[in-house]
A and B are shown apart, each in its own frame.
Chain A
Amino acid sequence: MSVQTWTFLIVGLSFAVYIGLAIWSRARSTGEFYVAGGEINPIFNGMATAADWMSAASFISMAGIISFVGYDGSVYLMGWTGGYVLLALLLAPYLRKFGKFTVPDFVGDRYYSRVARIVAVLCALFVSFTYVAGQMRGVGIVFSRFLNVEINTGVVIGMLIVFFYAVLGGMKGITYTQVAQYCVLIFAYMVPAIFISIMITGNPIPQLGFGDTLNDGSGAYLLDVLDQLNRDFGFATFTGGSKSTIDVFFITAALMVGTAGLPHVIVRFYTVPKVSGARVSAFWALLFIAILYTTAPAVAAFARTNLLRTIPERAYADVPQWFARWEDTKLIRFTDKNGDGMITYSGNGAVNELDIDRDIMVLANPEIADLPSWIIALVAAGGLAAALSTAAGLLLVISTAFAHDLLKKSFYPDLSERRELGFARIAAGGAVILAGYFGVNPPDYVAATVAIAFGLAASSFFPAIILGIFSKRVNREGAVAGMITGLLFTTSYIVYFKFLFPETNNAAHWWFGISPEGIGTLGMIVNFVVSIAVSLFTPPPPRDVQEMVARIRLPG
């Protein structure tokens, strides 16, 4: 069977499963819609969290980026996993004990303030929209390459599917669908990784093959060979980096703290029955995530080695088939500058003739390694599972923020549960359409705004929640002042370098050598300092709030 037939079959089958699950587990109350009634088994919640968390960026882009930047890619590996330690230790159990539905709920109640709640809602909406636009784009790319439809048609198909199960199923439907999506995506990631690991190193475990010798009898270690290949073609070595230590440090911290502060991740911990369940669920989530994250750098190294051994110095006339297929999508571009008919690939931009989009490394890897067509189809289904599960989780946060936090809690407290549920569904529907619009007309700044999403989560939510739990003294005035200064500081720094003066976006102009990607860490510190300082000069929180803090610290 051809790759295309296999893709239709596997993708179609996986979609049928998602829709079936959504119908079987649709939500009937706001409690079920927002937090699945708080009765999800922690292992399932761990899988759902993992699927929710691992987006098109983790599945498709991450290994691709690492394959080009090597050690510098560690910021994503550590940043996007280390945040779970913070989540499990500092946030999840207490927010679960607090009960309720959302992060703005906690911020609003703990700081007895509508302003604080609204600031939190607006951040949640902004962060989620930024993120969801990228997901729909990922869906479009996978559809266009593997199902031979227009990118835009792909986006519309993706929208319909997400619309169906997010609007109908709410959190309950999404959770069970995400469990299925986790299984699909991890299988789709691991199978080709294992095949390629065996092919290159003879070791079936990619994490070990990564540090093993090549199986061509030379006895040379993979990473040494790769470093040498990179040097030969004028690139930086894989195991060395080119970012400064301080920048790596700040970016990693911003990603970690941002991860712990992302509303669609936090809300997952409201869905388990008990406080101890929230802790153990974070463990399962990270374990399931770690399987993919420890494989990713290995895949990156294999893909880079394969690429450097097959393509450069080759006559353009006899490139392999996959090369031509990806050229059609314009994600690989070859311009024969010196007219010798050979492909020159080099770290030196003046003589380099080949542009490879980083995003295709994972998707093209099975083709580069010449794996059977069903595996290529599986990777397509995995990429879709990753993008759709994250999109659904985000849409839910958007609809909750709108119907629950904004309408009910901030403006119309008398809203009946039935009507609130109706508004939540309308909001989810509206969000799908908006996300689809951004998927079809992607703003150029999607990549730049993801940096903002993490920066904002790090510099706004994280300090407010941590201080809300670990201090009884931090009050409304402190928290609001802290969130606003943290936000303004981080946003202005990013906007300055990314949008206003992009030509100055380099280490010479950055403060202390911190790039816009890492500035959220500094924003977080600013937020902490301002919150504490302002609180000390203003009256302590009321008694009932202090008692609430005491209560959430005790086991449930």
Chain B
Amino acid sequence: MHGDGKRYWHTNLKYLTAILSVWFLVSFGCGILWVEQLNQIRIGGFQLGFWFAQQGSIYTFVVLILVYVGLMNRLDAQYRAEEADS
């Protein structure tokens, strides 16, 4: 793998780490580990922890994939431009 390929891969790994951290915090964190504490907070008829477990985490997952798609499309384009230059 030459230089650009390495950089591409490392940037990808950075994105993965960031997005998977959010993934973990929202589902396993807010939806499971801290559910009792968050349930003290209410938004409308929902207890917040319960809302994360049955609604919020799913919305977050959809957004996370969308963000990753956007980031990677940009990264792919950059990589191709650099490939074309060299």
Using a CB–CB cutoff of 8 Å, the interface residues on chain A facing chain B are 66, 71, 73-74, 77-78, 81-82, 84-85, 88-90, 93, 207, 210-213, 221-224, 239, 245, 248-249, 252-253, 256, 276, 279-280, 282-283, 286-287, 290, 293-294, 297, 550, 553-555
Contacts and interface: CB of A to CB of B under 8 A. Distances in A.
A11 to B, nearest CB: 30
B16 A89 contact: yes
6 contacts: A89-B19, A89-B65, A211-B43, A279-B65, A290-B58, A555-B76
A295 to B, nearest CB: 10
Interface string B22-33: 010001100111
B65 A553 contact: no
A257 to B, nearest CB: 12
Contacts of A253: 28
A294 B55 CA distance: 6
Interface of B: 1, 5, 8-9, 12, 16, 19-20, 23, 27-28, 31-33, 35, 39, 43-47, 50-51, 53-55, 57-59, 61-62, 64-66, 68-69, 72-73, 75-76, 79-80
B19 A74 contact: no
Question: Closest 4 A-B residue pairs measured CB to CB?
Answer: A221-B45, A74-B53, A211-B45, A211-B46
B65 to A, nearest CB: 4
A141 to B, nearest CB: 26
A555 B80 contact: yes
B5 A550 contact: yes
Given A85-B61, A293-B58, A553 B28 contact: no
Contact of A245 (B32, B65, B75): B32
A252 B32 contact: yes
B59 A78 contact: no
Contacts of B80: 555
- Which of B32, B43, B68, B75 has the largest count of A CB atoms less than 10 A from its CB? B32
A77 B54 contact: yes
Given A71-B53, A290-B59, 11 more contacts: A71-B54, A74-B53, A78-B53, A78-B58, A81-B58, A93-B72, A210-B55, A239-B47, A249-B32, A252-B32, A287-B62
Given A210-B55, A553-B5, A248 B32 contact: yes
B5 A279 contact: no
Contacts of B20: 85, 89
Contacts of A82: 23, 27, 57, 61
A547 to B, nearest CB: 9
B15 to A, nearest CB: 8
Contacts of A282: 65
Given A224-B45, A554-B8, A252 B28 contact: yes
Contacts of A286: 61-62, 65
B65 A85 contact: yes
Contacts of B53: 71, 74, 77-78
A287 B62 CA distance: 6
A88 B46 CA distance: 30
A223 B45 contact: yes
Query: Chain A binding site: helix, strand, loop or mixed by DSSP?
Result: helix
B1 A280 contact: no
A297 B55 contact: yes
Given A245-B33, A252-B27, A290-B59, A84 B65 contact: yes
B50 A212 contact: no
Contacts of A222: 45
Nearest to A300: B54
A71 B50 contact: yes
Contacts of B73: 276
Contacts of B16: 89-90
B45 A212 contact: yes
Contacts of B76: 276, 555
B71 to A, nearest CB: 10
Contacts of B35: 71, 245
B1 A211 contact: no
Contacts of A66: 54
A282 B50 CA distance: 26
Nearest to A238: B50
Contacts of A294: 54-55, 58-59
Nearest to B19: A89
Contact of B72 (A71, A81, A90, A276): A276
Contacts of B66: 283
B28 A249 contact: yes
A104 B8 CA distance: 28
A249 B33 contact: yes
Contacts of B43: 211
A556 to B, nearest CB: 9
Contacts of B39: 239
Contacts of B32: 74, 245, 248-249, 252
B35 to A, nearest CB: 8
B79 to A, nearest CB: 6
Contacts of A554: 1, 5, 8-9, 79
A398 to B, nearest CB: 29
B45 A213 contact: yes
Nearest to A227: B47
Contacts of A211: 43-46, 51
Contact of B8 (A207, A283, A297, A555): A555
Nearest to B28: A249
Nearest to B79: A555
B47 to A, nearest CB: 6
Contacts of A256: 27
A280 B62 contact: no
A395 to B, nearest CB: 28
Contacts of B75: 555
Contacts of A89: 16, 19-20, 65, 68
